[in-house]
Amino acid sequence: MSSTVELTKENFDQTVTENDFVLIDFWAAWCGPCRQFAPVYEKAAQDNPDLVFGKIDTEAQPELAAAFGIQSIPTLMIVRDQVAVFAQPGALPEAALTDVIGQARKLDMDEVRKAVAAQQAGSQGK
């Protein structure tokens, strides 16, 4: 049984709003690196049952891919408390994915929110 959730424009907002920590794999069936990354992502999902692992098929959900400016796939994104804290194109090896998840778990989200607010305030003044 898959421990990943297929994300669509219908369930995306609810999934991200109702869960503190969501990993998102942007992929497509024709993409070789995406197919290579899939078992690594699936294993990470099984190893981290407390987190939500979502997959967005960029062919079936072009609006979501466009909304996030996805230029190449696979792209991994991590959203904590509705803030994207990580986004990187390319298939990660298992050790790198485990490391990224660990780093994202340790983030002080109060600090992240302050940084985002400061960045937004700074960009408004230009």
- Choice among 7, 16, 23, 31 that is catalytic: 31
Record the tokens describing residue 84, joined without a space. 């994207």
Q: Where are the beta strands (DSSP E) in 19-116?
A: 21-27, 52-57, 75-80, 83-89
- Choice among 7, 22, 34, 45 that is catalytic: 34
Give yes or no: 116 in active site: no
Record the tokens describing residue 124, joined without a space. 């408004």
Supply φ then ψ for residue 52, to 5 degrees. Answer: -100, 125
Give yes or no: 34 in active site: yes
List active site positions.
Answer: 31, 34
